[in-house]
Structure 1
Amino acid sequence: MERNLDIRLLRTFVMVSETGTVSRAADRLARTQAAVSMQLQRLELDLNAKLLLRSPKGVTLTDAGETFLAYARKTIALGEDMRRQLEGRKLSGRVRLGMVEDLAVTRLPSVIADFRRRHPSVEIELTSSNSADLAKILYDERADIVVADPARCTVTPSSYLSRQLIWCASRMMELEDGADLPLIIFEGSCAWQDKMLSVLAEKGIKWYSGCRVSSFAALISGLRAGLGVGLLLPEGLPSDCHNLQGQFNLPTAPIAEFGVYVSRNPPLLVQELAAFLRAGF
């Protein structure tokens, strides 16, 4: 006899897949690691499929896990949307949203488009900047929601978003095994870059600066021109570049973490968009 999937299991699976480790997911969910592990085992048993590969460094998704993750996110979002509709919460008004450029030009457009389809009376004012500037406009009450690097903000976020990064380079770029790796280096502070250099050092991979950039647009240009290897969110990978994971002895790319920050005493509209962003990402 087939059983319906428990929504709590879906939420746990999504959190583990986004954070990359059972321990970190357990902290975010305020549960024990043992409880999270048991939920994952139950989910795989219910589906009769292996969703995660476990290692001392964390977990990675299998092909079945990648497929199921998309369905899990949609199911969670639909359930939340149904609850809003049944409760008669018709949203309207304006939300000032600030977001780091990497997300604003990759994953955000489809998420916001989906939100606007469900709530056409909502007006969204979007600002894209670096994390330090976003933290300032939130503090100055010039933004209602900010998604930024937690390492560059002084307050605790209301929630987190975690995304797996990928190594990438131009398809025209020729790299030799064992040769020093040309990197695209971001000028200024960047948590992604700090993690990138750390994992390369752990692996003993030598590198040099192939290109220095100061914006996401410049990073994309440097990649496409074949000036070096960089880190991107999967959604931001240009068609003339490719994922280098598993090649040239590269270690697993780090995970990017973003904090979702909301204004003090947020109205319902702000709370709903913040929740929608968490589900959509």
Structure 2
Amino acid sequence: MLHPQWLTTFATAAAASSFSETGRRLNLTQSTVSEHIRQLEAALSRRLFTRDTHSLALTQDGETLLVHARLILEAHAAAEAQFTGPRLRGRVRFGTSDDLVQGPVPDILAAFRRRHPDVDLDITIGFTDALYRQLDAGKLDIITGKRRPGESRGHALHRESLVWLAQTGMKFDPDRPLPLILLSEPSVTRTEALNALAEAGLRWQVVCSSGSYAACAAAARAGLGITVQPGHLPTAGLAPPRLPISLPELPDVQYVAVAARKLTPPAQTLLQILKETPIG
């Protein structure tokens, strides 16, 4: 029997760096996490993780189980929502950044809709800075995006590295400014990249601006220049630029969920799901 609690612990551990981190996320002791995984491995007669003092990784059987575990947990949550308490009704105005749309957020929203079919989701995709302004103006209930420099609001979801990328094998003229392909203003990623170049004393020129990471990546793939994107986005046809100089290291960005001061029950429910679902 695959106990839902074991599967919850397993799915959380699959997205964590260690069993101790898993315990912190679930408010469990490390020994309890280890016992849940041991019981699950015993029930399946399969080893699910390879682990040592420094790392934690899924085995092939673990990766296969993770697919089933997510489906089982989603079905379990849907059944509980269906038969416990009143059905949620209403509307949630949700905003998210372009890069998170290419990551796990659509799956989270789809699961929310399946659990709460009577709730209307009004989704806005845009730059993080614009989403903050709409939230502060009362036009959105919840947003997910990067934490702006100096901003302290929001629940931390995930930390991600920014990476320099260009067409695979592309060479650059060292006597010319670096050709950059960046998101249009205002953009946290653009600001961090330009600040890093300025601090390194490097010359640059923005040759292309776009409103989406996908368009920036396409322009870089075509050989127009160097772009910057979070590490979780697709990199097909792209690679770290080959330059006679070293590009500066870029800071990590932190993704957060930020909510309005007053939330309806549907919005509160979605916010809680966002907090509980591993993003990274």
What is the TM-score normalised by the length of structure 1?
0.65
Query: Deviations along 1:154-190, whole A, 9 cap, x unmatched?
Result: 1241xx54488898978x83389xxxxx998756534
Contact 2:48 2:62 (8 Å CA) reproduced: yes
Determine the C-alpha separation between the residues in 2 that align with 1:169 and 1:113. 31
Contact 2:146 2:188 (8 Å CA) reproduced: no
Which of 57, 63, 66 aligns to 1:69? It is: 66
Q: Specify the SS of the correspondent of 2:91.
A: strand
Partner of 1:143: 140
Q: CA distance change for structure 1 residues 148 and 175 in 2, over 3 Å: closer, same or farther? A: same
Contact 2:213 2:229 (8 Å CA) reproduced: no
Which of 169, 174, 182 aligns to 1:174? It is: 169
Residue identity opposite 2:70 in structure 1: R
Contact 1:77 1:280 (8 Å CA) reproduced: no
Q: How many residues align?
A: 246
Q: Specify the SS of the correspondent of 2:14.
A: helix
Partner of 1:12: 9
Q: Specify the SS of the correspondent of 1:5.
A: coil
Aligned 1:138-217 pairs, distance under 5 A = 138-150=135-147, 152=149, 153-157=151-155, 161-162=157-158, 173-174=168-169, 189-190=188-189, 215-217=212-214
Residue identity opposite 1:270 in structure 2: A
Contact 1:96 1:143 (8 Å CA) reproduced: yes
Q: Specify the SS of the correspondent of 1:97.
A: strand
Say if 2:113 is the partner of 1:122.
Answer: no
Structure 2, gaps ≥5 residues long: 172-177, 197-203, 240-250
Q: CA distance change for structure 1 residues 259 and 74 in 2, over 3 Å: closer, same or farther? A: farther
Determine the C-alpha separation between the residues in 1 that align with 2:265 and 2:123. 18
Contact 1:223 1:230 (8 Å CA) reproduced: no
Q: CA distance change for structure 1 residues 280 and 83 in 2, over 3 Å: closer, same or farther? A: farther
Q: CA distance change for structure 1 residues 255 and 32 in 2, over 3 Å: closer, same or farther? A: farther
Determine the C-alpha separation between the residues in 2 that align with 1:256 and 1:99. 15
Moved more, 111-120 or 9-18: 111-120
Aligned-residue offset at 1:111? 4.2
Aligned-residue offset at 1:269? 1.0
Aligned-residue offset at 1:30? 2.3
Determine the C-alpha separation between the residues in 1 that align with 2:78 and 2:278. 12
Percent identity between matched residues is 26
Partner of 2:243: none
Query: Deviations along 1:90-140, whole A, 9 cap, x unmatched?
Result: 232211101121122444445434544554432222222333443444344
Residue identity opposite 1:266 in structure 2: L
Partner of 2:26: 29
Aligned-residue offset at 1:42? 3.0
Aligned-residue offset at 1:143? 2.0
Residue identity opposite 1:85 in structure 2: Q
Determine the C-alpha separation between the residues in 2 that align with 1:42 and 1:141. 48
Which of 93, 106, 109 aligns to 1:96? It is: 93
Determine the C-alpha separation between the residues in 1 that align with 2:116 and 2:227. 40
Determine the C-alpha separation between the residues in 2 that align with 1:38 and 1:183. 53
Partner of 2:244: none
Moved more, 42-51 or 89-98: 42-51
Residue identity opposite 2:75 in structure 1: L
Which of 72, 76, 80 aligns to 1:79? It is: 76
What is the TM-score normalised by the length of structure 2?
0.66
Partner of 1:201: none
Determine the C-alpha separation between the residues in 2 that align with 1:233 and 1:150. 16
Q: CA distance change for structure 1 residues 280 and 115 in 2, over 3 Å: closer, same or farther? A: farther
Q: CA distance change for structure 1 residues 261 and 71 in 2, over 3 Å: closer, same or farther? A: farther
Determine the C-alpha separation between the residues in 1 that align with 2:132 and 2:17. 26
